A and B are shown apart, each in its own frame.
Chain A
Amino acid sequence: MASNLPPKPTLEHSTTTSGGLAHEHHERPRGMLRWLLTTNHKEIGTLYLIFSLTMFFIGGIFALVVRAELFQPGLQLVQPEFFNQMTTMHGLIMVFGAVMPAFVGLANWMVPLQVGAPDMALPRLNNFSFWLLPVAFTLLLSTLLMPGGGPNFGWTFYAPLSTTYAPPSTTFFILSLHMAGISSILGAINIIATILNLRAPGMRLMDMPLFVWTWLITAFLLIAVMPILAGVITMMLMDINFGTSFFNAAGGGDPVLFQHLFWFFGHPEVYIMILPAFGIVSAIIPTFARKPLFGYASMVYATASIAILSFLVWAHHMFVVGLPLVAELFFMFTTMLIAVPTGVKVFNWIATLFQGSITFETAMLFALAFVVLFSIGGFSGLMLAIAPADFQYHDTYFVVAHFHYVLVPGAIFAIMAGVYYWLPKWTGHYPDERLGRWHFWMSVIGVNLTFFPMHFSGLAGMPRRIPDYALQFADFNMVSSVGALMFGVSQLLFVWGVIKCVRGGEKAPAKAWEGAEDLEWSVPSPAPLHTFDTPPDFKPVTH
């Protein structure tokens, strides 16, 4: 396959720059202080990405503990108390520590470059948003060592299991989530301010690359829902420490209220983790199909529709809590409606491929796998939307399969595609294609071995979040565990590939990919520390 790849663009273009490039105009601190005090969007972007990768591995190890225990029926390696902490921490770390910071990291690097801005609009705030995260997650991880253990009530932390019945460390869990939430809100404000104020002259909103568009919408979602998360965990804090009874039925409280609040945050949160992925894929597919994105405007409208609908579907997570019939029907219909704009996106990507001139660099492989596997997650999502059938699917491995399909080969594959796509811009070197392909195929096989059998075990009746299971689920679980190990180990290839690319490799010109059109490809590779000190001359591409 290597021979099928096109020749890389020649290096001659690499001196082409648009906009002015700043000189080193001030002394910068060296060593650790440089990273602690940096206000540069590229450095902060790198910090976010490294942090996210670290969390990805920690969360991954927790997942492997879970899968190892589930390798066969019976309790072998861990006790249920610890197993519950592992499932909970795996979810929390992956959602708040790996996927979200990875997207913020990509936004930090790429949004200013794609809109022709010299930096993020609020650089010091940017530094603060990042450094909140290591503190928050160190605190969260340290709860595992506290008496009574860490959070053990699932990443959805339903009350009263997470309040009256929770371990004493729950207060620290709340504090760490507060910090992560503040970080997200500040990051979102920064991204909005950058996009709305610092675009290159002449760049209208409808000229922006889709990654910028999807992040703009995501940032509004973050600002809308993170305060609700903050509210609900504060109510938990009060119930635990100050004798209130928001969620305690014995004191007149309402455990179902917790779920309404959580999912009013939680469902938009799901889209926060997928919209930027749509943006990345919408950049990569046109590049390697050498053809403009099909239906740019409808992509923007579809993203906005998904975001708006995300506020109207939260109770589809609660079909079996005893909602009245009209509520079940309303949430079933709105949820099914989401399939329409999502479908539009998939159709647009495929129409972009149609009559293109396609090559299969690693970034493209991941983007194509995203389209297929995310769609499979979409199909199971459509099935879950059917409320009567959800009485059978709810809280089973079918749900686990569904959301892992949209999050792992969905969000995470898109992040990896983005990394392979932009690595030449970050490092000045092309990633090793052979290594990339190994990483890709191992990941695709691993992911499907892990998560596809979960559809079957779920339909056959296996509930989620159990450390031990009945014998009829044994074969499926064994396959899942083998797949998980394979997927986990193959991520070491990713780390190796990235390190290799940072240290050297084939030199990349400014426009590293022949079909890439956006502004980031007009600055040299690697991008100098300061870019676009004077705004670039922006000419709209035909969208």
Chain B
Amino acid sequence: MRKTLAWIMGAGSFLGLASSTLANGWNMPAGVTDVSREIYSLHMTIFWICVVIGIVVFGVMFYSLFRYRRSRGAKSANFHENTSVEVVWTAVPLLILVGMALPATATLKRMYDASEADLDVMVTGQQWRWHYEYLGENVSFTSSLSTPRSQINGEEEKGENYLLDVDQPLVLPVGRKVRFLMTSDDVIHSWWVPDLAVKQDSIPGFVNENWVRIEEPGIYRGQCAELCGKDHAFMPVVVRALEGDEFDSWLAERRKEAEAEASGVDREWSMDELMERGEQVYGAICATCHQPDGSGAEPTFPALAGNEALLNDRDRHIDVVLNGVSGTPMAAFRSNLNPVELAAVITYERNAWGNESGDVVQPSEIQALLEQ
């Protein structure tokens, strides 16, 4: 009796688990674009074809296993060939496949037509964040994970969008065709948002194309899909889709900010201003490899705290940050960060965690180097 009860409770909790899981989604999302819905319907069609074939094939198999058991007195027949049956079960699957290939081909052709886009966005993968540039709009920014480390390490309760939140989402207009140009600064990444049915590898040295026309405003979340090193799990993609006019005003706002930032290059910055700005940049860009306390992770990522070689050679430090170190994971940041951010982060690295060089690197100095 007690055993039965335990079984019932076990089964009950299993069902409870299963239903809560199903409510959370267990199938491909149909998504919010024409293409994503076409893909979803291809997926469901091929799925049901497999289910029907499975029922027929396994049905015959289990019937045979049951009906022709030796313990039931079955005597074996001796046939081992039948040409017409063999022709049929070769030809029928072939026909099913042709029937499946036709709609798949049509969808694929649509997916490959990235022409006549209203907006071009350059997506650059970097270990471990995404850089977005609205081509021709003078707006670009970096988007990285904003889930706090304390949630990951279990010191704090995990939020609703755990690991799927970023500091600055990619903002896109609804109803316009947006073309993505995908590339990478270091290893291969893959930009993926399930609701948009866009997954495209971003590969160093290549520029891949894909496109989307979002139909509903909303927030769409995804992740990097290609293993790209230690923080592969921690570079989410968040897309915020706005109505056309809202998007236009957002873009205009960002353009104004970019112009304001550019004018900051010419003025003299104080040590405190640079340190404050540098700490932000360091936390968002550098800390994943060189660690928040500058201790690095030998042998791949050198320590910055107490790094005599860098502290004694200011020019070398600037060169490394601007141009990277070839043959190592250290990327060139000259085009990813603006002169203010570059100057601030170098100043920060030379004066934080007990590095007391006292050096100040001014944005104007970086600007001059970049123009050389």
Chain A residues with CB under 8 Å of chain B are 4, 6, 73-76, 79-81, 84, 147-148, 152-154, 158, 160-161, 164-165, 167-168, 249-250, 253-256, 289-298, 320-322, 325, 328-329, 332-333, 336-337, 339-340, 343-344, 346-347, 350-359, 368, 371-372, 375-376, 379-380, 382-383, 386-389, 391-392, 394-396, 456, 459-461, 463-472, 475-476, 479, 542-543
The 8 listed contacts between A and B (C-beta, < 8 Å) are: A153-B227, A161-B227, A255-B206, A294-B79, A356-B64, A357-B70, A357-B76, A467-B233
Complex partner residue of A356 from B71, B74, B82, B188, CB under 8 angstroms: B74
Q: Verify B108–A350 contact, CB threshold 8 A.
A: no
User: Bound state CA distance, A396 and B71, in angstroms?
Assistant: 45
**Interface range on chain B: under 10, 10 to 19, 20 to 34, or 35 or more?**
35 or more
Q: Please give, as numbers and ranges, the residues of chain A lying within 8 Å of B61 by CB-CB distance.
A: 350, 353, 368, 371-372
Q: Please give, as numbers and ranges, the residues of chain B lying within 8 Å of A329 by CB-CB distance.
A: 105, 108
Smallest Cβ distance from A481 to chain B, in angstroms?
13
Q: Verify B24–A460 contact, CB threshold 8 A.
A: yes
Q: Please give, as numbers and ranges, the residues of chain A lying within 8 Å of B50 by CB-CB distance.
A: 379-380, 382-383
When A357-B75, A465-B232 are in contact, do A392 and B300 touch as well, CB less than 8 Å?
A: no
Complex partner residue of A392 from B93, B153, B160, B194, CB under 8 angstroms: B194
Complex partner residue of B204 from A81, A148, A255, A375, CB under 8 angstroms: A255
Complex partner residue of A295 from B81, B94, B105, B199, CB under 8 angstroms: B81
When A161-B187, A354-B68 are in contact, do A325 and B24 touch as well, CB less than 8 Å?
A: no
**B25 contacts the other chain (CB 8 A):** yes
Complex partner residue of B232 from A389, A394, A456, A466, CB under 8 angstroms: A466
Q: Verify A389–B42 contact, CB threshold 8 A.
A: yes
Q: Verify A340–B94 contact, CB threshold 8 A.
A: yes
Q: Please give, as numbers and ranges, the residues of chain A lying within 8 Å of B21 by CB-CB distance.
A: 456, 475-476
Q: Verify B76–A291 contact, CB threshold 8 A.
A: yes
Q: Verify B329–A164 contact, CB threshold 8 A.
A: yes
Smallest Cβ distance from A288 to chain B, in angstroms?
9
Q: Verify A347–B89 contact, CB threshold 8 A.
A: yes
Q: Verify A290–B70 contact, CB threshold 8 A.
A: yes
User: Bound state CA distance, A344 and B82, in angstroms?
Assistant: 13
When A294-B79, A392-B194 are in contact, do A250 and B326 touch as well, CB less than 8 Å?
A: yes
Q: Which of B230-247 contact A (CB under 8 A)?
A: 230-234
User: Bound state CA distance, A380 and B53, in angstroms?
Assistant: 13
Q: Verify B197–A391 contact, CB threshold 8 A.
A: yes
Q: Verify B70–A165 contact, CB threshold 8 A.
A: no
Smallest Cβ distance from B14 to chain A, in angstroms?
9
Pick out which of these stretches binds chain A: B218-226, B335-343, B356-364.
B218-226
When A74-B158, A250-B204, A255-B188 are in contact, do A461 and B42 touch as well, CB less than 8 Å?
A: no
Q: Please give, as numbers and ranges, the residues of chain A lying within 8 Å of B227 by CB-CB distance.
A: 84, 153-154, 158, 161, 464-465
Q: Verify A290–B76 contact, CB threshold 8 A.
A: yes
Smallest Cβ distance from B173 to chain A, in angstroms?
22
Smallest Cβ distance from B343 to chain A, in angstroms?
25
Complex partner residue of A359 from B38, B70, B223, CB under 8 angstroms: B70
Most chain A beta carbons < 10 A, residue from B29, B50, B198, B231? B50
**B275 contacts the other chain (CB 8 A):** no
Q: Verify A471–B200 contact, CB threshold 8 A.
A: no
When A148-B299, A392-B39, A460-B27 are in contact, do A339 and B93 touch as well, CB less than 8 Å?
A: yes
Q: Verify A158–B188 contact, CB threshold 8 A.
A: yes
11 further contact pairs, Cβ within 8 A, besides A4-B71, A81-B297, A391-B199: A73-B162, A84-B229, A147-B298, A160-B186, A255-B206, A292-B80, A321-B208, A350-B61, A356-B77, A387-B108, A476-B21
Q: How many A-B residue pairs have CB under 8 A?
A: 296
Q: Please give, as numbers and ranges, the residues of chain A lying within 8 Å of B205 by CB-CB distance.
A: 249-250, 253-255
Q: Verify B97–A336 contact, CB threshold 8 A.
A: yes
Complex partner residue of B24 from A293, A372, A467, A472, CB under 8 angstroms: A472
Q: Mark B95-116, 1 if CB is under 8 A from A, else 0.
A: 0010011001101110110000
When A322-B209, A354-B60 are in contact, do A470 and B161 touch as well, CB less than 8 Å?
A: yes
Complex partner residue of B224 from A168, A387, A463, CB under 8 angstroms: A463
Q: Please give, as numbers and ranges, the residues of chain A lying within 8 Å of B204 by CB-CB distance.
A: 160, 249-250, 255
Pairs of residues from A and B, 7 with the lowest C-beta to C-beta distance, nearest first: A249-B205, A466-B233, A322-B208, A379-B50, A475-B21, A456-B26, A357-B76
Smallest Cβ distance from B244 to chain A, in angstroms?
26
**B58 contacts the other chain (CB 8 A):** yes
Q: Verify A325–B17 contact, CB threshold 8 A.
A: no
Q: Please give, as numbers and ranges, the residues of chain B lying within 8 Å of A380 by CB-CB distance.
A: 50
User: Bound state CA distance, A542 and B199, in angstroms?
Assistant: 53
When A255-B203, A353-B68 are in contact, do A84 and B230 touch as well, CB less than 8 Å?
A: yes
User: Bound state CA distance, A388 and B25, in angstroms?
Assistant: 21
When A168-B299, A468-B163, A475-B17 are in contact, do A161 and B188 touch as well, CB less than 8 Å?
A: yes
Q: Please give, as numbers and ranges, the residues of chain A lying within 8 Å of B164 by CB-CB distance.
A: 470
Smallest Cβ distance from B284 to chain A, in angstroms?
19
User: Bound state CA distance, A389 and B104, in angstroms?
Assistant: 8
Complex partner residue of A375 from B46, B54, B224, CB under 8 angstroms: B54
Q: Please give, as numbers and ranges, the residues of chain A lying within 8 Å of B231 by CB-CB distance.
A: 80
Q: Verify A460–B26 contact, CB threshold 8 A.
A: yes
